[in-house]
C-alpha cells in the first residue's frame, strides 16, 4: 500500500522571527511537531574573469566558526529585486567586479530537512578589472577555474553552493 503524505500541516505557529529567517513549529499528522526555518532565499554567482579565473570571496562565517572561500551571494531581501539582479549586485558589492554576461545555472534547496531556503545559482563573465572595492571584511581570491573544479570534485570545497556552482558551470564556461 502506497503511503500518501499530507501536502500541508494541520497547524503552525511562529516561535521566532528575525530579518532573514522565521522559525515555525508545524503540526504534521503522523510526524507530530516539526521545526521549519523559513528563509528569504538567496542568489549566488560564480564570477569568471576573461582569463578564466574564478573570483571567490573569503570571509568569516560565525555559524561554522571558520573563514570560508565562497562565490559571492546574498539574500533576496530587497523589495522588487529578482534573483538575477541580486546576484549581479552581490558580485559588485563583494568583489568590485561587474559582469559582462550573466546566466542562470540552476538552484538548490540548501538543507530541506529543516529549511525552505532556496539558492538561485548563476555564473558570470566579468569585466577585465574591478571597478570598485570589495566590502569590508572580504578578501577576493582569484584562482583558475580548472583548479577550483578539481577541488570541488575532490571534496575540498566546503561551501555547498560554491561546489555545486563550480560543477554546474564547468561545461558551460568552457563552451562560451
CA distance 89 to 87: 5
Higher pLDDT, 5 or 166: 166
6 pLDDT higher than 70: no
- Residue 31's pLDDT is 87
pLDDT at 171: 82
Q: What is the CATH number of domain 42-175?
A: 3.90.79.10
User: What cell was used for 109?
Assistant: 534547496
How many helices (DSSP H) and strands (DSSP E) are in the chain?
A: 3, 10
Pairing between β-strand 42-48 and β-strand 118-126 as defined by DSSP bridges: parallel
pLDDT at 4 over 80: no
91, 45 contact by CB (below 8 A): yes
119: pLDDT strictly greater than 90 = yes
Quote the CA–CA distance of 72 and 139 in Å, as a whole number: 11
Whether the predicted pLDDT of 109 surpasses 90: yes
Q: Is the pLDDT of residue 110 over 70?
A: yes
Domain range summary for the chain, segments of one domain joined by +: 1-39, 42-175
Nearest to 102 by CA among 79, 67, 127: 127
pLDDT in tens, 15-63: 999 999 999 999 998 888 999 999 999 999 999 999 999 999 999 999 9
Question: Binning pLDDT at 50, 70 and 90, where does residue 5 land?
Answer: low
Segment 87-92 shows an average pLDDT of: 98
pLDDT at 2: 67
Model pLDDT for residues 131-175, shown as the tens digit of each residue: 999 999 999 999 999 999 999 999 999 999 999 999 999 988 766
Amino acid at each position: 500500500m502506497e503511503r500518501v503524505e499530507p501536502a500541508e500541516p494541520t497547524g503552525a505557529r511562529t516561535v521566532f522571527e528575525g530579518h532573514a529567517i522565521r522559525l515555525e513549529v508545524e503540526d504534521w499528522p503522523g510526524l507530530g511537531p516539526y521545526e521549519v526555518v523559513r528563509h528569504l532565499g538567496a542568489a549566488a554567482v560564480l564570477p569568471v574573469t576573461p582569463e578564466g579565473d574564478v573570483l571567490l570571496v573569503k570571509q568569516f562565517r560565525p555559524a561554522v566558526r571558520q573563514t570560508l572561500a565562497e562565490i559571492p551571494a546574498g539574500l533576496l531581501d530587497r523589495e522588487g529585486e529578482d534573483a538575477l539582479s541580486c546576484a549581479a549586485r552581490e558580485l559588485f558589492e563583494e568583489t568590485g567586479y561587474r559582469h559582462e554576461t550573466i546566466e542562470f545555472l540552476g538552484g538548490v534547496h540548501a538543507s530541506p530537512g529543516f529549511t525552505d531556503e532556496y539558492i538561485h545559482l548563476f555564473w558570470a563573465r566579468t569585466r577585465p578589472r574591478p571597478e570598485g572595492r570589495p566590502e569590508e571584511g572580504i578578501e577576493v581570491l582569484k584562482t583558475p577555474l580548472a583548479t577550483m573544479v578539481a577541488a570541488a570534485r575532490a571534496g575540498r570545497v566546503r561551501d555547498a553552493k560554491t561546489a555545486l556552482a563550480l560543477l554546474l558551470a564547468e561545461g558551460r564556461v568552457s563552451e562560451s
